[in-house]
Amino acid sequence: MKTTEEDAKQDQFGPTDRSRRRLLGTSAALLGGSLTGAISGRSATAQESSAAGPALPSFDARRCTDQLSARVGPEQERFGAWNDALRASAAGRESAFVDLDAVDHNLRLVGAKLGSNIGLRLCAKSLPSVQLLEYMMVAACTNRIMAFSEGMVRDLLLRFGSDVDILLGRPATVDALARTFATLDGLADGPNPTGTVRWLVDSPQRMHQFAEFAAKRRERINVSLEIDVGLHRGGARNAEQLLAMLAIIDASGLIRFSGFMGYEGHVPFVPLDRSTPAAEFAAVQRRYAEFLRVGREAYPALFDEPLVYNSGGSRTYHYYTDDLDSPVNEVALGSAFFYPSNFHNLPDTELRTATFFATPVLKRLDPAETYPDADMLPALAAEDSDFQVWYTMVAGGSPGEQHFPQGLVNSPTSSGDPSRIVNMLPNQGRWLGAREMPLEEGDFIFYQPWEADAVRWLAYLDVFRGGQLVAQWPTFQPGIRLV
């Protein structure tokens, strides 16, 4: 419900106008503002750019993915444009990149499938860049992020403060909670936003630790409870464990209960001799509803306020339609928006891959020869042209499959024979190909990541729009600097 003066002013415009104006503002701020730094090889840090971004949508904003539109061209056309752009602006270096046209396309498809009463939460581990998440939050009209490490939480809070709604996708230790509070104590403008995070707690023991920390700090902390709805990866397994955690919350006075997280990532992989994915998904909903019934009956006051009941993922979001009767009111996903190769079996076949690795050809060696038998490859090439030319790359060993150009083949020396040289290391690699292949020194070889998380392999994410390299955004990097 709109209550602020600013919201009242916005009501002069229709939802379509508001969303388009917001998206245009985001594009100008995120793309135009990043372009100079990207081409020069420097990108602003989260702290440096924190004041530049647009305001995030509110928690209860209506999803606006239906207003997105983007043309995603045929594969040959896309790779040709990307190769030209990388040669012009990123010559001689490897790249992990995202195509915003494909991201918009996928956001629209996913948003059309999700029920109108289901909130959309973006998974930071699969979309691992603060500025990418900022773009997508504004594009989809959501401020909900699922984070998976204290580093992600800290970077998001430094960028957005309490404007972002963060739910942990896995439990955090009380030590991580303490470090995050300590970092933001000195940097936050106003109240420390760490207390607004929905910290995930999975056991009574951890809940006691959180309650003790809140009492010592004398500050309220949000927690969501992990419930086991069938995956058996952690969280409350039964009513007894759930009620034990709720009892600690009820007695604390400083722990604010914010809902449940019950991940059902096992659903697509249920053994068919036991059940079916659809039947297991229905069972998950019954388990989820039973946890909710038990908690509400025992501690009705804790359930009076609007709460988040999170579940779902890229492999199950298509179940959460308007026709579903479920206690779940939000779904978290990320990989469907990037559509890496391990997710190409999703039911929605119109999704387009939005992220790739690319590495330039450093040397083109014709004819291909190899130690210790210089005649081996020429002899093979006499019968098969795929062995005619060596293409040596600036980088190699990317966590994905070589995708473009088609026709490159592995070296026969990669057979594991210790008398042969194997060369496909992360900082170097090579392929074989035919002499007529249109691949020259400086051209790029493209890989499709197995998983969306893999783009964290590089510190920066190149950003494409309309086939042009328009920005460079830093990715989340592992490692925590001690306070």
225: its two tokens: 């409870």
Q: 130 versus 29: which is more confidently predicted?
A: 130
Q: What is the mean pLDDT of residues 132-142?
A: 98
For residue 470, pLDDT beyond 70: yes
pLDDT score of 47: 37
Q: 65 versus 482: which is more confidently predicted?
A: 65
Confidence of residue 14 (pLDDT cuts 50, 70, 90): very low
Residue showing tokens 């959180």: 210
Residue showing tokens 């023991």: 205
Confidence of residue 123 (pLDDT cuts 50, 70, 90): very high
For residue 4, pLDDT beyond 60: no
pLDDT score of 374: 87
Residue pLDDT, tens place only, 250-273: 999 999 999 999 999 999 999 999
pLDDT score of 26: 43
Between the alpha carbon of residue 248 and those of residues 206, 216, 288, 291, 363, the distances in Å are 10, 15, 21, 17, 64
pLDDT score of 410: 85
313: its two tokens: 């993922």
Residue pLDDT, tens place only, 75-109: 889 999 999 999 999 999 999 999 999 999 999 99
Residue pLDDT, tens place only, 298-353: 999 999 989 999 999 999 999 999 999 999 999 999 999 999 999 999 999 999 99
DSSP conformational letter for 305: S
* Average pLDDT of the chain, as a whole number: 87
Q: What is the mean pLDDT of residues 128-137?
A: 97
Beta-bridge partner residues of 447: 357, 402
pLDDT score of 192: 92
pLDDT score of 411: 79
pLDDT score of 27: 44
**Model-level pTM greater than 0.85?**
yes
Confidence of residue 136 (pLDDT cuts 50, 70, 90): very high
Residue pLDDT, tens place only, 380-437: 999 999 999 999 999 887 889 999 999 999 877 655 555 544 555 667 788 999 999 9
For residue 3, pLDDT beyond 90: no
Domain boundaries, the chain: 7-73+101-343, 355-457
pLDDT score of 55: 85
CATH code of 7-73+101-343, in short, is: 3.20.20.10
Question: Percent of the chain at pLDDT above 70?
Answer: 85
Q: 437 versus 25: which is more confidently predicted?
A: 437
What is d(CA 258, CA 261) in angstroms, rounded to the nearest whole number? 10
Nearest to 332 by CA among 269, 265, 242: 265
Residue pLDDT, tens place only, 166-195: 999 999 999 999 999 999 997 766 789 999
CA-based angle 362:364:369, to the nearest 5? 120
What are the DSSP calls for 366-419, one per residue? SS---SS-TTHHHHHHHH-GGGSEEEEESS---SEEEEESTT-B--GGGGS-TT
Give, rounded to a whole angstrom, the gap between the first and last alpha carbons of the chain.
40
Confidence of residue 33 (pLDDT cuts 50, 70, 90): very low
pLDDT score of 54: 67
Q: 331 versus 70: which is more confidently predicted?
A: 331
pLDDT score of 414: 58
What is d(CA 184, CA 195) in angstroms, rounded to the nearest whole number? 10
Question: Percent of the chain at pLDDT above 90?
Answer: 77
Q: Is 128 exposed, middle or buried (0-12, 13-18, 19+ CB in 10 A)?
A: buried
